[in-house]
Structure 1
């Protein structure tokens, strides 16, 4: 099969016949390293055949600047005290096994949500009864940086008075709990 009829078909019937110029055919270069004799290793590796590595960032902070989580200014976020009261109640209900921890996925960091879910599973396995209603007795909110709120609360829970501290960060237009301590 010749390339001339195909090229003439594209060039049209009145075009002059195609005459290729002189082509030189070169052999394919050998890119493979020479095999080593059985059982021998070279003292130093040949630098021509060292494969580079791909830099991959597995940290959670390695998000895309445009499409990853975006920090949000305090002016756009709702009142942190009201959100803290609601989220404290929801977190403690999840830890008691009364509420699925997946419901907190939007407002709690993934590692904290897993810890809350684990304590809820343990509470259900122990057939632990809920400790009665939860009362947030006092709450104090401090905003050290724009878009960050640190909350300290005193709660009445399971006939005890306990302390609770959490840190909320403004992410994608909502509060996200990034740290939680219950005393």
Structure 2
């Protein structure tokens, strides 16, 4: 029996020596679900006046469709006219139909002040439109940026238009 006992011990697997206790770094598994975020309304990827975007704004365009004119075209015309009024090239009464009453009063005051300060000067070049970009807001208003070229000078204008009785009306204007 001693021969079989030693043979049995020899056939048993030898156990490996114990490892030294090394501190191991445990990582937490990454979550498989996204973290909750606050819902935000989707923003259009392109400006509204570019082709192909009108289909994505059907609910906003329904209100605009009856207007007959495009918001970017109205913004370009009215901002150019306002710039001409401030330069003294056009009477302020031309803006009465296209601006809100408060904006009309402000433009009339500013144009009167400019004519008193500057006096009658030789007419400068009329402003030319370089570019117009419009963006519809969630409330249905339109915000536009217009670049105007006046001789050797380029000016930027920010305008807000609102739809009133199927027409775009200028309600806010900042010219730099």
Task: Report the TM-score, using the length of structure 1 for normalisation.
Answer: 0.56
- Of Structure 1 and Structure 2, which has the larger fraction of its residues in helix? 2
1:23-172 alignment to 2 at 5 Å?
73-77=63-67, 78-125=69-116, 126-127=118-119, 128-145=121-138, 147-172=140-165
Q: CA deviation at 1:160?
A: 1.3
Distance 1:132 1:119 in 2: 20
Partner of 1:61: none
Number of residue pairs matched? 112
Distance 1:114 1:130 in 2: 24
Partner of 2:166: 173
- Structure 1, unmatched stretches of 5+, are 1-71
Please list every run of at least 4 consecutive aligned residues from structure 1 whose deviation after the TM superposition is greater than 4 angstroms: none
The CA RMSD over aligned residues, in Å, is 1.9
Task: Report the TM-score, using the length of structure 2 for normalisation.
Answer: 0.58
Distance 2:126 2:91 in 1: 18
Q: CA deviation at 1:146?
A: 5.9
- Structure 2, unmatched stretches of 5+, are 1-61
CA 1:97–1:133 in structure 2 vs 1: closer, same or farther (change >3 Å)? closer
Q: CA deviation at 1:158?
A: 5.0
Distance 2:144 2:123 in 1: 24
